[in-house]
């Protein structure tokens, strides 16, 4: 299904945080930094080429080989089985951050999803995850949709704050899920297909989006941020996550632990926009009203990649 299908700290108040004592530290190095954050943990999904357990081992091995501690935002409904809990325990034992991605992965902008039902779904996920030592009260919105009305947006923000949650914002959004969809479609037709073109497209896509959001951050905040990159638990990353991390390093970026990234003061921001959501950097740019020519809505979607992939025969 198309990820977008269901389609205060304001900037002024936040400037004191952004340009405060942390700025001199942030500017000590011109090197950019990025953390790997992964959504859904859909291990029981399509087992084409690799089983869920094999994908889990491959992704964890890639992170371990680079000494990186990621953040895994778990849809609670994916891990209630003994096997699912066991696979998640491997992340826990490896020291990765485990965050809340709701139980049902509802699209909050849907008129059928009320603020109250969405809140209860978050708590239902918490009950599944709370006994893991790596669990932290960081919530990531499914589809990065945080409320299509001011009332729904403010209701969920109040709920999260009163329950001790932080928003697990994404700064670099992308469409790895769509590249994965196309890769699996090719493998279904021809299990022996050469996957190197998909690897190349994936790396180029993530690099392009990283440059976009990093440059936008500089325009909006006048400083670099510690980025959180959104990717998904899927075959694509089981095959190529290690290559992705290597790419960032070779191009001069630091790949940091998720805990370090989320300590950046920018993650305390609460952009005053409706509909709310998208990349945090996108939302902060939108709030200023000064970057409309640089923003598209939604920030990322299959529609932006389909024509390119079609042209390349992917």
- Is 13-311 in CATH node 3.20.20.370? yes
pLDDT at 30: 73
Question: Residue 108: what are its φ and ψ, rounded to 5°?
Answer: -65, -20
pLDDT at 70: 99
pLDDT at 26: 38
Whole-number Å distance between alpha carbons of 62 and 96: 13
pLDDT band of residue 27 (cuts 50, 70, 90) is very low
pLDDT at 149: 98
pLDDT at 228: 99
Question: Residue 42: what are its φ and ψ, rounded to 5°?
Answer: -85, 65
Chain segment 135-183, per-residue pLDDT in tens: 999 999 999 999 999 999 999 999 999 999 999 999 999 999 999 999 9
Whole-number Å distance between alpha carbons of 249 and 32: 10
Chain segment 102-126, per-residue pLDDT in tens: 999 999 999 999 999 999 999 999 9
- pTM metric for this prediction: 0.91
pLDDT at 14: 42
Radius of gyration (C-alpha) of the chain in whole angstroms:
19
Distances (CA, A) of 190 to 64, 148, 197, 310: 31, 41, 14, 17
Chain segment 264-305, per-residue pLDDT in tens: 999 999 999 999 999 999 999 999 999 999 999 999 999 999
184, 48 contact by CB (below 8 A): yes
- Mean pLDDT computed over 85-105: 98
pLDDT band of residue 7 (cuts 50, 70, 90) is very low
Whole-number Å distance between alpha carbons of 304 and 177: 13
Top pLDDT among 21 and 51 is at 51
Chain segment 219-261, per-residue pLDDT in tens: 999 999 999 999 999 999 999 999 999 999 999 999 999 999 9
pLDDT band of residue 23 (cuts 50, 70, 90) is very low
CA 166 from centre of chain: 14
Whole-number Å distance between alpha carbons of 222 and 225: 10
pLDDT at 29: 47
Chain segment 182-204, per-residue pLDDT in tens: 999 999 999 999 999 999 999 99
pLDDT band of residue 46 (cuts 50, 70, 90) is confident
Residue 231: CA count within 13 A, CB half-sphere = 30
Paired strand residues for 226? 33
Structure tokens at 88: 């998640």
């Amino acid at each position: 299904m198309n990820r977008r299908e269901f389609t205060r700290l304001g900037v002024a108040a936040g400037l004191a945080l952004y340009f405060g004592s942390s700025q001199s530290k942030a500017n000590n190095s011109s090197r950019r930094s990025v953390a790997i954050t992964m959504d859904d943990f859909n291990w029981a999904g399509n087992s084409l080429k690799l089983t869920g357990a094999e994908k889990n081992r491959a992704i964890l091995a890639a992170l371990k080989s680079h000494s990186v501690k990621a953040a895994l935002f778990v849809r609670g409904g994916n891990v209630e089985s003994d096997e699912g809990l066991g696979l998640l325990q491997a992340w826990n034992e490896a020291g990765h951050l485990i965050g809340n991605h709701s139980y049902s992965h509802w699209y909050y902008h849907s008129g059928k999803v009320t603020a109250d039902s969405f809140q209860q779904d978050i708590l239902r996920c918490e009950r599944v995850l709370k006994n893991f030592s790596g669990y932290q009260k960081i919530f990531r919105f499914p589809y990065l949709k945080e409320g299509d009305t001011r009332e729904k947006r403010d209701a969920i923000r109040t709920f999260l704050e009163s329950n001790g949650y932080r928003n697990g914002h994404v700064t670099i959004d992308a469409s790895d899920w769509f590249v994965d969809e196309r890769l699996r479609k090719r493998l279904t037709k021809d299990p022996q297909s050469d996957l190197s073109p998909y690897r190349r497209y994936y790396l180029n896509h993530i690099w392009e989006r990283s440059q976009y959001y990093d440059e936008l951050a500089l325009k909006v905040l006048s400083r670099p941020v510690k980025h959180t990159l959104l990717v998904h638990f899927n075959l694509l990353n089981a095959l190529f996550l290690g290559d992705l991390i290597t790419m960032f390093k070779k191009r001069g970026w630091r790949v940091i632990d998720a805990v370090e990234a989320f300590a950046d003061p920018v993650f305390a921001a609460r952009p005053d926009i409706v509909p709310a959501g998208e990349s945090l950097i996108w939302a902060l740019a939108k709030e200023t009203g000064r970057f409309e020519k640089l923003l598209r809505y939604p920030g990322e979607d299959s529609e932006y990649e389909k024509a390119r992939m079609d042209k390349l025969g992917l």
